Amino acid sequence: MNFEDTDPAANGACFVGAFVDGAVTVGLTEAVVSPGSRSTPLAVLLAAHPRIRVWMHVDERSAGYFALGMAKARRAPVILLCSSGTAAANYLPAVVEAYYAEVPLVVLTADRPHELRDVGAPQAIDQLGLYGRYAKWFVEMALAENTPAALRYARTVAERAVTLAAMTPAGPVHLNFPFREPLVPVLSPDVFSGGRRAEAGKQSCLFGTYTGVRHLSSPTLRRLAAALASVQRGLMVVGPADQDGLAGAIAALAARLGWPVLADPLSSLRNGTHDLQNVIDGYDAGLRDVATRARLQPDLVLRIGPMPISKALANALEAWKASRQILIDGSERLRDPGRTADAQIFAEPVTLMRELTAAVPDKPASRWLEAWQSVNRVIESVVARLFDGEARLSEGGIFRQLRHVLVDGTILYVGNSMPVRDLDTFFGRTRTQVRTLANRGANGIDGVVSSALGAASTGPVVLVVGDLSFYHDLNGLLPAKLHAIAATVVVVNNNGGGIFSFLPQGEMVDDFEALFGTPLGLDYQHIVTGYGGHFQRIQAPAAFQAAIRDAQRRGGLNVIEVPSQRALNLERHRQFWQAVQDDLAVYWKQAQPCEF
């Protein structure tokens, strides 16, 4: 490589090439790119690298969520690139979600050089620290130079950025690249070699940037294991988590202790081949019953990860004043909104679960565990009685049908508001290896379609989303057409914001429909076909199952609309909760005195 080269285009190519190759060195393989002029050097070099796949997406707001869904599904960092100006501002919602959901993104924004800032140059805004505290790390990159020091700088920044994005707590990092014209880089055969630590073919030790996991000290581990082993009425509560190996590690510890596990639907514990015997999935409905909540108060609660979705469980944790609570989290962030935890343990969860399993004695099955399992069976029977034989598909019934047709390896992505709560209540446990994902960092309805399509770049995805959320991100359907991505989208169309009917606003606000119901009255068929998709409107359960199977065979974009009525859906849920309460009252009358 000629370090004396003064051609600005060649300088830019060498500098950016070193950066791109540095990112590849630490495992990055995917880049989501939105078109623009100022970002040309990065876009061209990303596309030229043989180990990076570029996914083009025209809409930056959707592109941000597309990259987020891809990174979430891959459990690995993804580059997100745009031009300067408001293009970069459109990434903010996805960056916020990535920060709170701990999803690794490497956000690259192109920028005007310093002499064109704050002087009225077009498409120039203040991009320094644009994402504020939502970026784990921000760097204003140096202007491109073709010198050994500059190339080494570019490479090491890339390695550090990718590693930091993935390091616990995972999240977005932001690098701002100022570029002078000319913007079209001059490529050469050795454009990616700048700043490398070893010559080609040279035997080398470790190169790049690495990190480890956080452990408890041996004395603390022993004290924790002894505390768990001494408890008879113990309870494990697992929040949203999608970490490889976590489900099996938690299930093994629960079996060892003889404790029930209240597993969030996004925890990965409810689905798969691991031991499901101790997994309780009906606790949201059960803990709405005051008598059940009082009878099943634990002595100790071992919480893993963020708080579960269930409001009834959150209320129970606050009501169980006498219960000690220990919170385990791989992140140093405090995720305890009710501030009910008596102790916080910051350690890598999979490793800690395995160490505890080895450290505690094996306990036989107890009446405490059997009581939780019995309550769960009561709730399962009510769900089956009310929803498995329905003639017209309800919102809860959608998930009852999906559990019968989803195949191993499917990602079930769900929208916020009602879909994630209906997943919690009605999908249940299954041996099918289904990954359940949702955007529960900031819990917004925006970008869900894009996130699901990003996840679909890795394999089969079924998205269940409300009509408002679907409308909010219609641009998110574009990658299905551009990149031939296969995805099935189930749109629950209740013509508005269904969850508000469950909140006090539903009965206390005079202008409810205008302010909260927000009916749109849209027909999505022509929009879907415009994106090259297949559209169906279905109401019968059997037809719905057939449509899901057909979509999985057909490939491409498939949108299945299920019409619903908000008032009827509210009534169906209330009937279900009442039936659970009635059946639990009968159960407790017949049960033996609870001396666990």
Question: How do residues 434-490 score in pLDDT, each as one tens digit?
Answer: 999 999 999 999 999 999 999 999 999 999 999 999 999 999 999 999 999 999 999
Give the per-residue pLDDT at 513.
Answer: 76
Q: Is residue 11's pLDDT more than 90?
A: no
Give the per-residue pLDDT at 497.
Answer: 79
Contact status, residue 419 vs residue 492, Cβ threshold 8 Å: yes
The span from the CA of 257 to the CA of 366, in Å, is: 10
Phi, psi of 442 (to 5 degrees): -105, -5
Q: How many CB atoms lie within 10 A of CB 89?
A: 16
For 66-77, what is the mean pLDDT? 98
Give the per-residue pLDDT at 316.
Answer: 97
For 366-393, what is the mean pLDDT? 95
- The residue with tokens 């999803």 is 103
Enumerate the H helices of 395-540 as residue ranges: 395-405, 418-422, 448-456, 467-472, 478-482, 505-508, 512, 525-530
Percent of the chain with pLDDT over 90: 84
Contact status, residue 392 vs residue 416, Cβ threshold 8 Å: no
For 85-101, what is the mean pLDDT? 97
Enumerate the domain spans of the chain: 8-178, 218-379, 395-563
For 82-104, what is the mean pLDDT? 97
What class, spelled out in words, does domain 8-178 have in CATH?
alpha beta
Query: Is residue 304 classed as helix, strand or coil in its secondary structure?
Result: strand
Q: Is residue 199's pLDDT more than 70?
A: no
Q: Is residue 188's pLDDT more than 70?
A: yes
Q: Is residue 246's pLDDT more than 80?
A: yes
Query: Is residue 412 classed as helix, strand or coil in its secondary structure?
Result: strand
| 490-548 per-position pLDDT tens digit | 999 998 877 777 778 777 667 887 788 788 889 999 999 999 999 999 999 999 999 99
Provide the pLDDT confidence category of residue 208 given band limits of 50, 70 and 90.
low
Q: Is residue 427's pLDDT more than 60?
A: yes
Sign of CA dihedral 50, 52, 57, 59: negative
The span from the CA of 79 to the CA of 68, in Å, is: 10
Phi, psi of 51 (to 5 degrees): -110, 15
Q: Is residue 211's pLDDT more than 90?
A: no
The DSSP 8-state label assigned to residue 446 in this structure reads T
Provide the pLDDT confidence category of residue 365 given band limits of 50, 70 and 90.
confident
* Exposed / middle / buried, residue 456 (Cβ in 10 Å: 0-12, 13-18, 19+): buried
For 565-572, what is the mean pLDDT? 91
Q: Is residue 2's pLDDT more than 80?
A: no
Instruction: Find the range with the poorest average confidence among 200-209, 293-302, 393-402, 551-560.
Output: 200-209
Enumerate the H helices of 337-430 as residue ranges: 349-359, 367-387, 395-405, 418-422
For 65-70, what is the mean pLDDT? 98
Structure tokens at 45: 């070099």
Q: Average pLDDT, whole number, for the chain?
A: 93
* Exposed / middle / buried, residue 167 (Cβ in 10 Å: 0-12, 13-18, 19+): middle
Hey, which residues does 492 pair with through a beta bridge? 466, 562
CATH code for the part of the protein at 218-379: 3.40.50.1220
Phi, psi of 203 (to 5 degrees): -65, 130
Give the per-residue pLDDT at 596.
Answer: 52
For 404-418, what is the mean pLDDT? 95
Cα angle for residues 462, 268, 455 (degrees, 5° grid): 35
What is the side-by-side strand order in the sheet with 105-111?
A: 53-56, 30-33, 78-82, 105-111, 172-178, 138-140
| 250-272 per-position pLDDT tens digit | 999 999 999 999 999 999 999 99
Residues near 214 by beta carbon (within 8 Å), at least 6 away in sequence: 168, 330, 346, 347, 348
Provide the pLDDT confidence category of residue 592 given band limits of 50, 70 and 90.
low
Q: Which secondary structure element, helix H or strand E, spans residue 246, and what is its range?
A: helix 246-257
Give the per-residue pLDDT at 503.
Answer: 76
The span from the CA of 290 to the CA of 20, in Å, is: 58
Contact status, residue 11 vs residue 183, Cβ threshold 8 Å: no
**Fold equal for 8-178 and 395-563:** yes
Give the per-residue pLDDT at 204.
Answer: 52
Q: Which secondary structure element, helix H or strand E, spans residue 413, and what is its range?
A: strand 411-414
Provide the pLDDT confidence category of residue 147 given band limits of 50, 70 and 90.
very high
Give the per-residue pLDDT at 12.
Answer: 86
Provide the pLDDT confidence category of residue 5 given band limits of 50, 70 and 90.
low
Provide the pLDDT confidence category of residue 373 given band limits of 50, 70 and 90.
very high
For 59-72, what is the mean pLDDT? 98
Q: In Å, how far are 39, 133, 229, 334, 372 from 259, measured between CA atoms?
A: 54, 39, 11, 25, 9
The span from the CA of 427 to the CA of 282, in Å, is: 10
- Identify the CATH homologous superfamily for domain 395-563: Thiamin diphosphate (ThDP)-binding fold, Pyr/PP domains (3.40.50.970)
Give the per-residue pLDDT at 154.
Answer: 97
pTM score: 0.94
The DSSP 8-state label assigned to residue 427 in this structure reads I
- The residue with tokens 């015997």 is 277
Give the per-residue pLDDT at 435.
Answer: 96
